[in-house]
Amino acid sequence: MAAPIAIQLEFGGGAELLFDGLKKHHVTLPTQTEPWDVKQLLVWIQRNLLKERPELFVQGDSVRPGILVLINDADWELMGELDYQLQDHDNVVFISTLHGG
Amino acid sequence: MCQVNEEYHDGLEQAQVPGVSKKCVKCKEASAAVVIRAGDAYCRGCFKEYFIHKFRAMLGKNRIIFPGEKVLLAVSGGPSSCSMLSQVQEGLSQNAHKKLRFLPGIVFIDESGVLGQSLEERQKTVSELQAVFRATGFPFHMVPLEQVLEVPSSVVVTAPSPSDQPASAYKAAVDRFIQRDSSCPTSQEQKERSLPVVQEAHTRLLQQLVGSAKTLTAKQDLLNTLKQHLLVHTARTEGYSKVMLGDNCTRLAVKLLTSISVGRGAQLAQDTGFSDTRYGDIILVRPMREYSAKEIAFYNHMFSVASVFVPSLDTKSTEKASIQRLTESFVTKLQTEFPSTVSTIYRTSEKLQTSCRSSSTAEPSDRCLLCVCAMDTAVEDASAFQATLTSVQLSQVKVPGSCSTKVPGLNQAPVELQAPAPSGQCCSSGGGGGEDCGRAERGGSCCSSTEKPEAIDLKSLLCYSCQLTIKDMSSVECLPQYILSEAKRRQRRSQMREDISEFLLCDGDGDDS
């Protein structure tokens, strides 16, 4: 059992439009049996935060190509991408590099 | 590409073992923060150094911006152009190692009128950007896109470039500048041009213009053309000789493939190269072309470079909404699997050259009315261009014969401006409704006639790709006045040349006005 963890999510480069135009979100992920990883976080975001057009944010299991992910100010490629296990107070940033957001 | 199978994939993934503790490949001390190319992880400090160096190296290598020259930075509010702005600021700062020596100004073109945004929304974006610009201390110009309706037709004419400067001129200019610099510091007072009041009627006209294009591809193309004209016009009236654009490497890779898809192959070198000389006196420069979108996004995030999100035509549009959009998603998807996709496409673009007349030497009359590139339509009979035309003609043969059938998709008529006819449906309006059409007693092909004096045949004045864009519009009457009047002028000119052709000793002599 993993305790609920509080993390900060940030959206930028136009990705915030899919989240009511709000750039920063402080969220608490509920208790669940396995530890939270980024893959599950994406599912959670899709269910709880995403306001419209999920295909513009996620594709398959991962984020849409062209959206960058930073975990605690570092490239998620260095952190194991989808398999990274989230810690309490982590900061996850999503930046869209696509034209027009 | 399709042959790369799972086995390959395993190898790739094993090569870069993910780990939080990975060290920077450069200083080998600090822990890495960003992966630039596959396997190249940089720490914060080294990444900043690398990023700043690249900008200076780009300008230093190309030696195109002279010291003391006025340079207009085209800032859209997006990450790339804002990053460019911060790099220029960095380069001009007193303690910069190799100081940049030009005089920058900023221009922002507000295109949100096209999107139907309310005045309050527009004002909000503008004031956000103004705050960013004010902080730089550079003079800046806020220009609503509506102003494009009032620019003179000289915009689409290539002005003669001041003079061809030899390579040694750059060095001499630097020396002169250094001497002068020690005596008088070049400080520019910050001039502010706030957004002039936009007339609602103009906004409507602009919306009508963009709305008259049916596809998003043509809309975006048209909007880009208008924006570029307005940029050049602003640069000319404010006395700038260079315009810096924020196109990054990813953008250019997308642009390259898009351009090929929309038939702009001949103009690729101008459209994507470092410097673009099509306007003659104003040179467009793309200093950000070696940065990928990822590098820019990371830099902006890490070093808090402010950028303002401005929605555009393709915001929230689907993948297949336009050719531009589709190409972008193709490239970015490929990029996630094969990290060298963008750089490979981009390197290819560097090597491209046009075989037809170079764009810098073509006569003004040989240039496309819209994109101001050398025309690609004057080619021999056995070319892909002629084949396409023939194919279009063949598929349209039936249209004039059966006058009452409407063929909306294939209608060629919108290409020309029929002075009184509403939207070029003259053939199908039954019994020659348009008076022009009735007067021109020409078998079946009244739509493709070029002999009417008052109708503007835009087609002959456009390059292949711009022809396609115009063809997509329901009416060319919406085009801004400067384009229409220049079209008329060029047409009169060629008409005159034809009329007096038998008195001319050789071709092209009678062009003096």
Residue B30 lies in a domain: no
Which residues in chain B touch residue A81, judged by CB atoms under 8 angstroms apart? 18
Chain A interface includes B314 (CB < 8 A): yes
pLDDT of the residue at B436 = 42
* Domain extents in chain A: 5-96
Which residues in chain A touch residue B311, judged by CB atoms under 8 angstroms apart? 14, 17, 100-101
Q: Which residue of A has its CA nearest to B47?
A: A74
Q: How far is it, in rounded angstroms, from Cα A30 to Cα A42?
A: 14
Query: In angstroms, what separates the C-alpha of A1 from chain B's closest C-alpha?
Result: 24
Residues 6+ apart with CB under 8 A from A86: A5, A7, A29, A35, A36, A37, A38, A41, A92
The total domain count for chain B is: 1
Looking at the partner chain, which of B18, B302, B316 has a beta carbon nearest the beta carbon of A17? B316
Query: Which domain covers residue B266, as residue numbers?
Result: 64-159+184-362
User: Which tens digit of pLDDT belongs to each residue from B367-379?
Assistant: 888 888 888 777 6
Consecutive H or E run containing B112: none
Confidence of residue B198 (pLDDT cuts 50, 70, 90): confident
- Report CB contact under 8 Å: A75, B298: yes
The CB density around residue B130, as the number of other CB atoms within 10 Å, is 19
Q: How far apart are the first and last CA of chain A?
A: 38
Query: In angstroms, what separates the C-alpha of A34 from chain B's closest C-alpha?
Result: 21
- 3-state secondary structure at position B228: helix
DSSP state, residue B24: P
Which has the minimum average pLDDT: B95-109, B463-477, B497-511? B497-511
pLDDT of the residue at B132 = 92
Residue B53 lies in a domain: no
Are the beta carbons of B217 and B322 closer than 8 angstroms? yes
- Report CB contact under 8 Å: A77, B315: no
Chain CA centroid to CA B337, Å: 29
Residues 6+ apart with CB under 8 A from A69: A38, A63, A76, A81, A92, A93, A94
pLDDT of the residue at B455 = 57
- Report CB contact under 8 Å: B301, A12: yes
- Report CB contact under 8 Å: B316, A53: yes
CATH number of the domain at B131, please.
3.40.50.620
Residue B507 lies in a domain: no
- Report CB contact under 8 Å: A97, B312: no
Q: How far apart are the first and last CA of chain B?
A: 57
Confidence of residue B235 (pLDDT cuts 50, 70, 90): very high
User: Which tens digit of pLDDT belongs to each residue from A1-50?
Assistant: 567 889 999 999 888 888 988 899 999 988 888 888 999 999 999 988 88
Comparing B78 with B18, the larger pLDDT belongs to B78
Which has the minimum average pLDDT: B51-55, B310-314, B442-446? B442-446
Residue B266 lies in a domain: yes
Between chain A and chain B, the number of residue pairs with CB atoms below 8 A apart is: 94
Query: In angstroms, what separates the C-alpha of B239 from chain A's closest C-alpha?
Result: 31
What is the biggest distance separating any 2 CA atoms in chain B, rounded to whole angstroms? 83
Residues 6+ apart with CB under 8 A from B263: B464, B465, B468
Looking at the partner chain, which of A77, A80, A97 has a beta carbon nearest the beta carbon of B297? A97
pLDDT of the residue at B156 = 81
Q: Which of these CATH numbers, 1.10.420.10, 3.30.465.10, 2.60.40.420, 3.10.20.30, describes A5-96?
A: 3.10.20.30
Residue B286 lies in a domain: yes
pLDDT of the residue at B451 = 39
Amino acid at site A71: I
Chain A interface includes B332 (CB < 8 A): yes
User: Which tens digit of pLDDT belongs to each residue from B481-505?
Assistant: 898 888 888 888 888 888 888 887 7
Task: Identify the top-confidence range among B152-156, B221-225, B273-277.
Answer: B221-225
Q: How far is it, in rounded angstroms, from Cα B37 to Cα A65?
A: 16
Across residues B38-50, what is the average pLDDT?
87
Q: Which residue of B has its CA nearest to A53?
A: B316
Chain A positions with Cβ closer than 8 Å to B: 12-14, 16-17, 53, 55-56, 65-66, 68, 70, 73-75, 77-81, 83, 93, 95, 97-101
Confidence of residue B441 (pLDDT cuts 50, 70, 90): very low
Instruction: Tell me the average pLDDT of chain A.
Output: 88
**A19: β partners:** none
Residue B43 lies in a domain: no
Looking at the partner chain, which of A56, A68, A74 has a beta carbon nearest the beta carbon of B294? A68
User: Distances from the Cα of B479 to the Cαs of B175, B205, B417, B453, B468, in angstroms?
Assistant: 47, 9, 10, 19, 15
- Report CB contact under 8 Å: B309, A73: no
Q: Is pLDDT at B328 greater than 50 in this prediction?
A: yes
Residue B469 lies in a domain: no
Q: Is pLDDT at B62 greater than 50 in this prediction?
A: yes
Q: Which residue of B has its CA nearest to A21?
A: B309
Comparing B406 with B487, the larger pLDDT belongs to B487
Q: How far is it, in rounded angstroms, from Cα B349 to Cα B334?
A: 18
